[in-house]
Amino acid sequence: MTPSDLSVPNAVETAALSHWYGDQPALQDLTLGISQGGVHAIVGRNGSGKTTLLRILTGFVQPSRGRCQLLGEDCRKLPAAVRGRVALVSDEHALPPWLSAEQLVGLQRASYPTWDQTLFDQIVDLFSSSPTQRVDQLSRGERAGLCLALALATRPQILLLDEPTLGLDVVASRAILEVLLLASEPPDRTVILCTHQMDEVERLADQLIILNRGRLVAASEPEAFRDRFSSWVAEGIPASSVGSVEGLVRCRTIDDQLHLVTVDRDPNLVEELRGLGATRVTRSALSLDRAIEAVLSQPGA
Amino acid sequence: MIEIVTGDSRPIFRQIVDGLRRQIAGGELPPGSRLPSVRGLAQQLRISLNTVAKAYAVLTNEGLIESRDRVGVFVCEPRQILSLEERQRRLEEAVSQFVNSTYSLGFDDDELIRQVEAGLEQYAAGHPNSGDPE
């Protein structure tokens, strides 16, 4: 008996999880725990392993190595009971093109005793498509809404979302955001949201997970992550003299001023920069998206 | 009406705290005013319930608002619940921010002081009781 049998298991638990496509690594030694409840945003550049992780979690892909559990069960052989409590909405919004929303509901509700038709109708209404329209007659936004409605109406305990607003116009994106806010309300539901939209992260996420090239870069509350960064403008010194500054993640010269971003640095960097010859130093806070960008754009990252 | 923006260096919950604090201090939200419910404000701003709850918790701890069971969230009568040390610390912080952001503007000290006095007068005009402790 493992400790997780005694207490509430994490929604997701991985240890040294690795996956390769051929000789191309997609996930490298990922050790991650995602507790139950709340919205957990996974952010990273294209090819950082986000989609692979979702596929492994749902059992569509067998990982090359390492441990991976969903609600305490091995993802390689998820019991039907756990599988029924998980919903995945992929970015492709792939649905059989010849079926209508009504027909899809007919198929879906048969396999889910928890099916919530009122919720389904409420969500589909936001996208104003008719239930008799075939999938191939729907716009991209309507199809995204339908996918989300089909997933949420099963009232999943774990909702996995892969870039739900990818390629959507401003109206459809806003409707999706409203559905996601609705989806995140039940306190016992865990939402795992892979996204490139920093606006979604700020509005929705309780926890921020950053992946880069298949590795875990950070996992914390978004504010705690942002608070680790500072932005500095220094005058009177060239970029070549700050190379050894500890915690430096970004350095640009704009109009003879040096614009720096640092991580985990205390305010005494002001004295350090003055010591290196800076005549004037100002410090400011960084927005969340700039902090994330700074981490992901590091050459060595 | 509170407005928030994403991509700002202030987190959303902090923007709500600052915005409501300013409206309460400025008299736009006098004591007894009813604030939107947590859910209502979350829907209005399109942000999570947790973010609004966190902002309301900060303001509740500062004694600016209170939640009355099943009735709603209200602006409190002004009272001083912060310790003298804490008030001094905040004053110093505010002064240091003020000096940092005005120092390079090129006004002389007398002009800065005159402007601050004018600002305080304007504020007091909207707050007949703000001069009286308790």
DSSP for A39-79 reads EEEEE--TTSSHHHHHHHHTTSS--SEEEEEETTEEGGG--
Nearest to B6 among A39, A178, A203 (CB): A203
pLDDT of residue B132: 44
DSSP at B8: S
Buried b (16+ CB within 10 A) or exposed e, A99-129: ebbeebbeebbeebeebbeebbeebbebbeb
| Residue whose structure tokens are 């007949």 | B128
pLDDT above 90 for B80: no
* pLDDT at B101 (0 to 100): 82
What averages of pLDDT result for each successive group of 10 residues across chain A (301 residues)? 65 96 94 96 94 94 96 94 93 86 91 92 87 89 93 96 93 94 94 95 96 94 94 91 89 92 88 90 91 84 53
Q: What's the pTM? A: 0.83
Q: Element (H or E) spanning B75, and its range?
A: strand B72-75
Average confidence (pLDDT) over B2-25: 92
Exposure string of B21-51, with b = 16+ CB inside 10 Å and e = fewer, is bebbeeeebeeeeebbebeebbbebbbbbbb
B75 band by pLDDT with thresholds 50, 70 and 90: very high
Hey, what amino acid is at A162? D
A contacts of B7 (beta carbons < 8 Å): 198-199, 202, 287-289
Q: Do A204 and B43 touch (CB under 8 A)?
A: no
ipTM: 0.81
Position A301 scores a pLDDT of: 53
At A228-278, the pLDDT tens digits run 999 999 999 998 888 888 999 989 999 989 999 999 988 789 889 999 999
Residue B116 is predicted with a pLDDT of 92
Q: Are A161 and A205 in contact (CB under 8 A)?
A: no
CB-closest option in B7, B43, B51 to A287 = B7
Best probe of the B interface among A40, A203, A279, by most B CBs < 10 A, is A203
Dihedral sign for Cα A219, A246, B92, B20, please: negative
pLDDT of residue A1: 44
Q: Exposed/middle/buried for A251, CB within 10 Å: 0-12, 13-18, 19+?
A: middle
Is A44 within 8 Å of A64 (Cβ atoms)?
no
Structure tokens at A32: 């991650």
Say whether B7 and A184 touch across the interface (CB within 8 A). no
**What is the reported pLDDT for A299?**
65
